Amino acid sequence: PRQSVRSIARGACFVRAAAAESIKAEGEVEGMTSFLDSLKYSDVGLVTVMAQDVDSGAVLMQAFADRAAVCETMQTGLATFYSRSRKERWCKGETSGNFIKVQNIYVDCDRDSIIYLSIPIGPSCHTGSHTCWFTEAGIAGEDSVTCLGEHTSEAWAPKTTLFQLEATIQQRKEDLDVEGLKPSWTGKLLSKPELLCSKI
């Protein structure tokens, strides 16, 4: 079973506190130098990094990482980046406690961007939103784009198709409790187990 967010956060804090002494030089980790050499860095030595929720598929945040930040992430399992404004490495959550626990790392075909497939521990955005992508824009036509507003709750995070389907089914189930609302076909299936079974 998945650990609680609180226990993961405690573990992340412990790992981060011990990181300064435990992180090895890249040459001391088998295969690390070869992997880091294979990345295509920008003129200022950075790659683009996207953090993505391993469960929902929601894109959490985007930042940049230098060679050392990628190396640190791979050793600690905590998303580590490079701040272009402060010109220093930083571990997400080191001040807020909202760590991003990296489960897997994927590199794109051009090898100049990375995905940290992760478990977010608390909000990922500095605004307190679950994801940095909470402003939705709807395409109204070739000549116009409509801003549909901002959604800061986790429920509105950009979802994969399966999670969108799950949310729709859940909404149909909740609609059954709304007095006077005609149930959808999905709602009828959910309210009548024998009918549902006959369709499987």
The 10s digit of each residue's pLDDT in 34-57 is 999 999 999 999 999 999 999 888
Tell me the C-alpha distance between 11 and 17, whole Å: 10
The pLDDT score that the predictor gives to residue 132 is 92
Predicted TM-score (pTM) of this structure? 0.67
pLDDT band at 1 (very low <50, low <70, confident <90, very high): very low
- 174 domain-assigned: yes
Across the beta sheet with 100-107, the strand order is 59-65, 47-53, 113-120, 100-107
Instruction: Examine the domain organization and report whether 12 and 86 are in the same domain.
Output: yes
Mean pLDDT value of segment 89-115: 96
Instruction: Examine the domain organization and report whether 91 and 39 are in the same domain.
Output: yes
pLDDT tens profile 127-164: 998 899 888 776 666 565 555 555 555 555 555 666 66
Of 120, 145, 172, at which residue does a domain stop? 120
> 11: Cβ–Cβ under 8 A, 6 or more apart, which residues?
3
pLDDT tens profile 169-198: 888 888 888 888 888 888 888 888 888 788
Chain center to CA of 11: 19
Instruction: Examine the domain organization and report whether 11 and 70 are in the same domain.
Output: yes
Instruction: Examine the domain organization and report whether 72 and 171 are in the same domain.
Output: no
153 class by beta-carbon count within 10 Å (0-12 exposed, 13-18 middle, 19+ buried): exposed
Instruction: Examine the domain organization and report whether 10 and 98 are in the same domain.
Output: yes
Instruction: Examine the domain organization and report whether 63 and 111 are in the same domain.
Output: yes
Domain hosting 188: range is 160-200
Q: At 79, which CATH number?
A: 3.10.20.810
Number of independent structural domains in the chain:
2
- DSSP class of residue 1? -
Instruction: Examine the domain organization and report whether 19 and 103 are in the same domain.
Output: yes
Q: Which of 7-11, 96-100, 140-144, 161-165 has the highest mean pLDDT?
A: 96-100
